[in-house]
Structure 1
Amino acid sequence: MADQRPPIRYSDSIETRPEGEDRAIEGIIASMTQETRTVAEREKHAVRASHAKASAVLKGTLTVLDGLPPELRQGLFANPGRHDVAVRLAQGPGEDLDDSVSTHRGMAIKVFGVEGEKLPGHENGQTQDFVLATGPVFPNADAAGFLTAIKGLEKGAGMPQGVKAAVSTVAGAVNKVVKAVTGGDSPLLDFFGHSPRHPLVDSYYSQAALRYGDHVAKIAAVPVSAGQAALGDDPLDTSKNPNTFRDATVDYFTREDAEFEIRVQLCTDLDSMPVEDASVEWPEEQSPYRAVARLRLPRQPAMSPARHAYMNERMSFRPAHSLAAHRPLGSLMRARLRTYAALAATRQRMNGTQPAEPRDISQIPD
């Protein structure tokens, strides 16, 4: 039974910046920039420093539910209604690897027609971005911890793909044992060895906290359609096709719609549900995830060349594209606010492409 404590009230004092965080964030940017250059030298093209390989680029709608209780009627979700959205599904690595390397995955959502005060730098924007990934927590607590981890990933950027596939396989196998014993995934093992199941059966999480109007929350997208349930949880065979996940996702959208329930987990206790440590899972027995909206992705060409070129090369999804009411919180999010912009600028400069931040869905090619 869930704890009935009320959600805490948001205040600026919730965040506590540790000494040396700015240096850690600068180190993350430097390390991930070098990783981008290493991969670009090999592939003759700069790609995203994480979630480089798209499985689908999609258009859909986000419908905010009617009749939400006051604590859930916040920010984007304050009023029932429908918004156009663009969604990008992708594999985790910052390089275009064969799908035998099955790591964590991402879902990026850009919501259009969003009114209200925006974060600095996004004042003229009409969008709200949510950047989600598989697993309810991040493997590292904060910017300093992520810097240590990213230096290892930078060194591994030049390793042969076969080695990375072997690491992914071993991590996935060990994670199965951990899950059987503990009932849950190991965030670090899942990061490197995610089950090679269909991308549309995964749930996706903000992992770190964000402001939720008067409160503080984490957000998730959970698959709920019958078509997705029918896909099952069994691993896909990635041994013969380097683009197994993309092809499976594109094939699905030729015949079925997909739907995710957008759910929010409100913070009710800062000790057991910390904002500054993204590696701590907030206990659902204290505060369960609760539905606030439906994300519907209808049948469509899920990887058209024109749309892929626009959404992959020119468009970006960033935590900084946000309402003030959904400001990202905590050390990991503060790092993301700076690194996403810096890395996108580096990638687009290397490729000679012009950035684009669409104001409505019609600007995204079909």
Structure 2
Amino acid sequence: MEIQSERELAAITRLKDLFLGLQAERYVDIDRRVQRPVFLKPQGHARGVFTLQPNLPEELRIGVFTQREFSAWVRFSSDTVPQVPDAANSTLGLAIKLLGVPGRKLLEGEGQALTHDFVLQNHDVFFSDDAEAFADFIEASLSSAEAFEEFLASHPATDAILQEMAKEEDSVLLARYSSTVPYAFGNRFVKYAVRPGRGTRPPGPQAERGPDFLRRDLRRRLLKDGAHFDFFLQFQKDPEAMPLEKATVRWSEELSPLIKVATLVLPAGQDIDTPGQPEAIDNLSFSPWHALEVHAPAGSINRARRAVYKASADYRRRRNHVPISEPLEAV
């Protein structure tokens, strides 16, 4: 979907400048490496197997959902800087990179890559409707505490969503994830959802909640039990009630129930601290536009992400001397 107005184009330019400026500032302040602008605290990674449900209806066999199984890399993260304790920010990210996916990808410069990305977080709506509102939000948040408070006071819907996002999470493997924004599914539109699957046990009553408890919990669980997630589609049934261009609007699961289409299994016995692997996965980029055209991102927020993610990934790779590359296998 093309940029819809000059105002949107101007907002996307503002967002690129804001996020690149944030990356440059953190390069000096953190460890003299350029970090991601968002979801930069890594909680851990895992190799997995993404398996489609047997006997999917023909209408669901589109794009990546035409194949039986993919190997995958998964990255769990928090939307904060690494020094912030886990309990102080519970906005979590889940990025899935499927391997061995044929077909041209939408992202500039990576069209021939044999991978496909899903980018999700642990909330089902975004806190700004469109690129212009998002740019206003970022400018206010980076200005001063007083300016940000004034912004939230004048944008009650954004304030309410941010309060919803402040929910506590006990484990990255117990969180419920959503794409938050829509994607094409052939000639229809969907949101993606990921839920903990069978056998995922809650933490014990005395679970330790130190500064990095999410990472320690993930390491312990993957070493011992592995993990299991279910992957769902939610179709747009009513364009008015389930809009593409207003990212703060929740898509009702009563109006459009989730449809399970795949499972994601992270096998037991993995150690997220295996030498070399954390650095290799953190050097990867994950983008909603690293996707087949039949799964093209939709809406203003996604159009902004196309430009911002690409600019920030290119800047990070250039300054860190990391070449553009995609993994070929998950072992």
Please tell me whether the aligned partners of residues 94 and 120 of structure 2 are also in contact (alpha carbons under 8 angstroms): yes
- Equivalent residue, structure 2, for 1:7: none
Q: Which runs of 5 or more structure 2 residues have no equivalent in the other structure?
A: 150-158
- Equivalent residue, structure 1, for 2:155: none
Deviation at 1:236, TM superposition (A): 5.9
Match runs of 1:183-194 below 5 Å: 186-191=160-165, 193-194=166-167
Q: Distance in 2 between matches of 1:19 and 1:308?
A: 41
Q: Distance in 2 between matches of 1:55 and 1:97?
A: 12
Please tell me whether the aligned partners of residues 228 and 264 of structure 2 are also in contact (alpha carbons under 8 angstroms): yes
Amino acid at match of 2:89: S
Deviation at 1:237, TM superposition (A): 4.9
Cα distance 1:97–1:230, how it changes in 2: closer, same or farther (>3 A)? closer
Deviation at 1:267, TM superposition (A): 0.7
Please tell me whether the aligned partners of residues 184 and 298 of structure 2 are also in contact (alpha carbons under 8 angstroms): yes
Cα distance 1:140–1:73, how it changes in 2: closer, same or farther (>3 A)? same
Cα distance 1:186–1:126, how it changes in 2: closer, same or farther (>3 A)? same
Deviation at 1:224, TM superposition (A): 0.8
Q: Distance in 1 between matches of 2:301 and 2:89?
A: 24
- Equivalent residue, structure 1, for 2:190: 217
Cα distance 1:97–1:155, how it changes in 2: closer, same or farther (>3 A)? farther
Deviation at 1:123, TM superposition (A): 2.2
- Does 2:318 align with 1:346? no
User: In the TM superposition, what whole-angstrom CA distance separates every residue of 1:243-266 from its partner, at most 9, and x where no partner exists?
Assistant: 111111111111012011000001
Identity, % of aligned positions: 29
- Equivalent residue, structure 2, for 1:3: none
Q: Distance in 1 between matches of 2:201 and 2:237?
A: 32
Deviation at 1:222, TM superposition (A): 0.6
Amino acid at match of 2:185: Y
- Equivalent residue, structure 1, for 2:234: 265
Please tell me whether the aligned partners of residues 125 and 359 of structure 1 are also in contact (alpha carbons under 8 angstroms): no
- Equivalent residue, structure 1, for 2:106: 119
- Equivalent residue, structure 1, for 2:330: 361
Amino acid at match of 2:163: L
Deviation at 1:345, TM superposition (A): 1.6
- Does 2:4 align with 1:17? yes
- Give me the TM-score of the superposition, normalised by structure 1: 0.80
Amino acid at match of 2:288: P
- Does 2:118 align with 1:148? no
Match runs of 1:149-188 below 5 Å: 149-155=137-143, 186-188=160-162
Deviation at 1:235, TM superposition (A): 10
Please give the secondary structure, in 2, of the residue aligned with 1:230: coil
User: In the TM superposition, what whole-angstrom CA distance separates every residue of 1:102-132 from its partner, at most 9, and x where no partner exists?
Assistant: 2310000000111234325232111110000
Q: Distance in 2 between matches of 1:18 and 1:315?
A: 32
Amino acid at match of 1:187: I
Please give the secondary structure, in 2, of the residue aligned with 1:106: strand
Please give the secondary structure, in 2, of the residue aligned with 1:296: strand
Please tell me whether the aligned partners of residues 47 and 72 of structure 2 are also in contact (alpha carbons under 8 angstroms): yes
- Does 2:281 align with 1:311? yes
Cα distance 1:250–1:85, how it changes in 2: closer, same or farther (>3 A)? same
Match runs of 1:247-266 below 5 Å: 247-266=216-235
Cα distance 1:40–1:117, how it changes in 2: closer, same or farther (>3 A)? closer
Q: Which runs of 5 or more structure 1 residues have no equivalent in the other structure?
A: 1-11, 160-166, 168-184
Q: Distance in 2 between matches of 1:205 and 1:148?
A: 24
Match runs of 1:1-366 below 5 Å: 17-45=4-32, 46-79=34-67, 81-94=68-81, 96-119=83-106, 121=108, 122-155=110-143, 186-191=160-165, 193-226=166-199, 228-231=200-203, 237-238=208-209, 241-299=210-268, 300-312=270-282, 314-362=283-331
Q: Distance in 1 between matches of 2:143 and 2:44?
A: 29
Q: Distance in 2 between matches of 1:215 and 1:348?
A: 35
Please tell me whether the aligned partners of residues 268 and 286 of structure 1 are also in contact (alpha carbons under 8 angstroms): yes
Q: Distance in 1 between matches of 2:37 and 2:206?
A: 26
Greater alpha carbon shift after TM alignment, 112-121 vs 43-52: 112-121
Please tell me whether the aligned partners of residues 174 and 202 of structure 2 are also in contact (alpha carbons under 8 angstroms): no
Greater alpha carbon shift after TM alignment, 130-139 vs 119-128: 119-128
Deviation at 1:358, TM superposition (A): 2.0
Deviation at 1:212, TM superposition (A): 0.9
Aligned residues: 316
Aligned alpha-carbon RMSD (Å)? 2.3
Cα distance 1:214–1:189, how it changes in 2: closer, same or farther (>3 A)? same
Please tell me whether the aligned partners of residues 36 and 47 of structure 1 are also in contact (alpha carbons under 8 angstroms): yes
